[in-house]
Amino acid sequence: MTQRLDYNAASPAGVKALAGVYTYIARSGLPKSLVELAYLRVSQLNGCAYCIDMHSRDLLRGGMNVEKLVLVPAWREGGALFSDGERAALAWAETVTRLAETGIPDAAYAAAAAVFDAQQLTDLTIAIGLMNAYNRMAIGFRAPPAALLASQNARTIG
């Protein structure tokens, strides 16, 4: 994969604005692991290798075990590995990300609202929207995932 352009260099003020939202979410009171799980699932749905790589690494560094991480795409079959809050966040992330397909049905909203209060659900939705924006930047401009860069560097050095 060849990066099309460095969006950080091309629009530092725009990227800084997105980073401000990222910082808001980090300070929102939502559990970091829950937010990272939502970021990962959104990125999986969008096929964003850069973000899948980053958020998988973040979850592993945060203490998530590999067995749970690999089941994120099939979280519904993951049973007790995922808490009620995680399952609600993953379901909400899926329906919001697939907005054009789902229309975000009333039942999906009711299920999420049964687990999260108004501010939590709003902040979670902001996080989901933010990750969808980041995915579009990374995919559109072909940001290479860290795993690919490490592999290329290893071949160059070796």
Please report whether residue 104 resides in a domain.
yes
Please report whether residue 81 resides in a domain.
yes
Please report whether residue 87 resides in a domain.
yes
pTM here is 0.92
The string of DSSP letters for 42-88 reads HHHHHT-HHHHHHHHHHHHHTT--HHHHTTGGGGGG-GGGS-HHHHH
pLDDT in tens, 4-56: 999 999 999 999 999 999 999 999 999 999 999 999 999 999 999 999 999 99
Please report whether residue 88 resides in a domain.
yes
Give the domain extent around 58: 31-148
Give the span between the Cα atoms of 83 and 144, in whole angstroms.
32
The pLDDT, as a whole number, for residue 115 is 98
The encoded tokens of residue 38 equal 């939502």
Give the span between the Cα atoms of 87 and 111, in whole angstroms.
10
Provide the number of structural domains found in the chain.
Answer: 1
Please report whether residue 140 resides in a domain.
yes
Mean pLDDT calculated for residue range 54-60: 97
**CATH classification of the domain holding 135:** 1.20.1290.10
pLDDT in tens, 114-130: 999 999 999 999 999 99
Which burial class, exposed, middle or buried, applies to 120 when counting CB atoms under 10 A from its CB (0-12, 13-18, 19+)?
buried
Please report whether residue 95 resides in a domain.
yes
Using CA atoms, how far residue 62 sits from 26, 75, 128, 142, in Å, is 14, 19, 20, 27
CA-based diameter of the chain, in Å? 55
Please report whether residue 10 resides in a domain.
no
Please report whether residue 111 resides in a domain.
yes
